[in-house]
Structure 1
Amino acid sequence: MIKTFFTAKGGNGRKVKKKVSGDVMNYLDVLKLTVLAGEIMIKSGAEIYRTEDVMDRIAKNYGARQVESFVTPTGIFCAIESIDGQVFTTVRRIESRGFNLTKIDKVNAFSRRLSKRHIPVEEGIRELTEIAQEKSEYPWWLKIFAAGTGALFSTGLIGGKGAEMAVSFLIAILVRAFIMAVPDFGLFPFFFDLAGGFISTLLVVAIAKIYPLMLGVTVVGSIMPFIPGMSITNSIRDAIAGDFLASQARGLEAFLRVLALAVSAAVVLALVV
């Protein structure tokens, strides 16, 4: 839900409420469109500096004289100033985040098209709403296969042989399918990483009891698809761009998820091996 506040200074310098006119409503739509673009990018895993840049360009292309956007991984604060000095402010809470580079590319493409030709605000809102509502363009079986492939080659890179690579591939497929099939119940990714690391390590140990494997290499390879590589990368890029608050937040999130994998694997190895 967007909360919008519009105030202006009266003749005596006091802040007074002004009646919303057609022009004002247009700026409210511009603000809605700007924040919608930022929300899509943050939820899709975009960097903070990229999100703020896209929001600034969109608002200015629609005639905003000044744009002030402050974006964090959990919220967006945006204010735009119209040509006649009226200021409109909005706050949006970001409750869920993931990674979808296709959506980021589409919002970027929209902002680039907007700089070349005028797009009516209503049409822009409709286009971005459709982007926000899009489901993943990749089928479930391809995601599962990609997890297995990542585990297979990761195991090979750290010294695993054919048997270790095959076992990592199989376990990654099974665990990823299980995680995707289980409803999230509003749980944080931390708990799914904890479960994924626990199940993967337990399966590796069980197979190692039957067939000799390099245990450590196979365990690391099988849990590699759960490593939050994008969060780590974005944390570093935000730090380089000077967005230290977002960098620390994303870095802490990545650290906790890696810690969940390490703890779950360590518990299984300590109890079973």
Structure 2
Amino acid sequence: MPSFDILLLPGDGIGPEVMQEVKSVLGWLQGQGVATFNTEQDLIGGSCYDQHKVSVTEGTVDKARKADAVLFGAVGGPKWDKVPYEQRPEAGLLRLRKDLDLFANLRPAICYPALAEASSLRREHVEGLDIMILRELTGGTYFGEPKEIVTLENGEKRAVDTTVYTTHEIERIARVAFDLARKRGNKVHSAEKRNVMKTGVLWHEVVSALHAKEAKDVELHHILADACAMQLVRNPKQFDVIVCDNLFG
């Protein structure tokens, strides 16, 4: 029977409650002879800040690197709203994403028949819905530099966030999108804001070039991010895989 080392990071809020059920599932799978799961639990987010005054410790990051998988709950909450920006609970999650190079965030949106009536959209628009939203997770506005708040000579403050993407970062997330589409409905929508953002222009160019070179068998559509949001409400079933940057995802 195979054996896996699993790092459990419950975090804050509903995270610990969810992680208890994760433990139950792992125990059941192990009892069925699927695999042996060697689990270790550690702190991240606000719970880590309360004990160590940082949102994630170097020891936890090292454990995450060595583990076969990391199962994560949630971070943050009103309790830590006044924590210094660099130590905020969410910073621990961003650190793991960057250090482990977790660049592809798969966000499935599935509506099962029993839940169709619970949607704010009409039943016929959501029943049977199966969309995969693919979010680039280690670049863009979340990680671009400079990122700062400065005081100007006139006393006003100015905040700066920077959106940065390279050809490599866009290519690898687009490649994942095309590979996913081949296993699903064979259609990709690439969402960006090329009409106002230079990163959107590059995103459009790189995705188009990769499609022409490696994925002509996949149907590709380009759509502006705000138009994509509107169409998700108006006619969500037209989508299969949607690939977008860190901010829009």
* TM-score, length basis structure 2: 0.26
> Which of the pair has more CA radius of gyration?
1
Higher percent of residues as helix: 1
